Amino acid sequence: MQIAAAEVGPRGIVVGIDLAETEPFENENVIAIQGDLEDPEVCERILESLGGDPADVVLCDAAPKLTGVRERDRAAEERILEAVAAALPRLLRAGGDLLVKILDGPEAQEVDRRIRKSFEKAKTVKSAATRKGSSERYLLARGYRPSVD
């Protein structure tokens, strides 16, 4: 959120959401919501904070708390990605961009494939900060086409 705030400058708005409480930001244009992105009402709160207009960019680096039980962890990751996919028609403007973290697995790949279809172009990117051996990658999708949802 700090980096996004620096990118958009004082005239942009950054709305962040996390299950955990976030330290308050000094800038008025940075709004932190404590909530569950899987809750559809939270989507409405984000939209309200944006002043009713969908965002230019959606960034998601949410990740489930891993239990070590593979099926459970994959299901939790799938729920996060499904929630992001479900929120896009409300939260992202046509032509907007998405960057979403993916912890790879068959379920995640299925949602990834579906999300890609709603964008003009999409690719997988890796972060230098990702630990070696991690299944973490990012889907960078540009040019949202809401009608294809």
Ligand X SMILES: C[S@@+](CC[C@H](N)C(=O)[O-])C[C@H]1O[C@@H](n2cnc3c(N)ncnc32)[C@H](O)[C@@H]1O
Check if 65 is active-site.
Answer: no
Out of 6, 19, 66, 69, the residue judged to bind ligand X by CB under 6 A = 19
Helices then strands, each counted (H, E), the chain: 4, 6
x/- binding map, residues 70-99, to ligand X, per CB under 6 A?
A: ----------x-------------------
We find the least distance from the C-beta atom of residue 104 to ligand X, in angstroms, to be 15
Told to check if 45 binds ligand X by CB under 6 A, we report: no
Find residue 49's DSSP bridge partners: none
List the interface residues with ligand X, window 51-70 (CB under 6 A). 61-64
Told to check if 18 binds ligand X by CB under 6 A, we report: yes
Instruction: Identify each DSSP E strand in the chain by its residue range.
Output: 14-18, 30-34, 55-60, 92-103, 119-125, 136-144
Out of 8, 38, 49, 99, the residue judged to bind ligand X by CB under 6 A = 38
**Whole-angstrom Cα distance, residue 137 to residue 125?**
6
42-75 per-residue burial string, b: 16 or more CB within 10 A, e: under 16: bbeebbebbeeebbebbbbebebeeeeeeeebbe
Out of 13, 30, 37, 92, the residue judged to bind ligand X by CB under 6 A = 37
Told to check if 108 binds ligand X by CB under 6 A, we report: no
Burial of 105 (C-beta count, 10 Å sphere; 0-12/13-18/19+): middle
How many residues sit in the footprint of ligand X (CB under 6 A)? 12
Binding site for ligand X (CB under 6 A): 17-20, 36-38, 61-64, 80
Known catalytic residues?
Answer: 101
